[in-house]
Amino acid sequence: MDRRQFFQRSTGAVLGGLAYTAGARQALAEAQAPRRSGDERPKTGLPVRAVSIGFKPGLSLEKIGELVDKEGSRGADLIALPETCRGQTEKTIEAADGPTVTALARLAEKHRTYIVCPIDRMEDGRRYNS
């Protein structure tokens, strides 16, 4: 199994573990119920809607934005993109505050979600998958 396959499979497993469960509705009701002093907190948290978007690296920023916008409008709390989602060539190297992060930060704010967005970055002459 190569690194990319491992990442795709492990991301699916992690996000699958965060999926909505049968007891989540009860946990949500308990979490929203008024508390009195001395009440015990619920043993489970609130449900998280997580999405892993799979595609081959090298997709245009416009297309990635469309996919993220679509999942964000569906109410995803966490959106994970593939490793080096824009690709890994000399043309895809960008700063941490470059176009990919800037565009996806706007979408994260718009949909009140978190986005995992690995980029191809260069710093001090070293290349990073950040």
Number of domains in the chain: 1
The confidence score (pLDDT) of residue 33 equals: 59
In sequence order, what E strands does the chain have?
A: 50-52, 78-80, 114-116, 120-123, 126-129
The confidence score (pLDDT) of residue 45 equals: 76
The confidence score (pLDDT) of residue 9 equals: 59
**Domain CATH code at residue 105:** 3.60.110.10
Indicate whether 67 belongs to any domain. yes
Indicate whether 68 belongs to any domain. yes
Q: Name 75's Cβ contacts closer than 8 Å, sequence gap at least 6.
A: 49
Token pair for residue 46? 């609130």
Domain span at 72: 3-19+47-129
Indicate whether 105 belongs to any domain. yes
The confidence score (pLDDT) of residue 17 equals: 47
For the four alpha carbons of 110, 116, 118 and 123, in that order, the dihedral sign comes to: positive
pLDDT tens-digit map of 33-89: 555 555 565 566 788 999 999 998 889 999 999 999 999 999 999 999 998 889 888
The confidence score (pLDDT) of residue 19 equals: 45
The closest alpha carbon to 15, from 55, 54, 57, 49, belongs to: 49
Indicate whether 27 belongs to any domain. no
In sequence order, what E strands does 67-107 have?
A: 78-80
The confidence score (pLDDT) of residue 6 equals: 55
pLDDT tens-digit map of 77-123: 999 999 888 988 888 899 889 999 999 999 999 999 999 999 999 88
Indicate whether 33 belongs to any domain. no
Indicate whether 9 belongs to any domain. yes
Q: How far apart are the first and last CA of the chain?
A: 22
Cβ(82)–Cβ(100) below 8 Å = no
Q: How far is residue 67 from each of residues 52, 63, 94, measured CA to CA in Å?
A: 11, 6, 21
Indicate whether 35 belongs to any domain. no
The confidence score (pLDDT) of residue 122 equals: 87
The confidence score (pLDDT) of residue 20 equals: 44
SS3 110: helix
The confidence score (pLDDT) of residue 112 equals: 94
pLDDT tens-digit map of 7-24: 555 555 444 444 444 455
Helix axes 99-111, 61-73, angle to 10 degrees: 10
Indicate whether 30 belongs to any domain. no
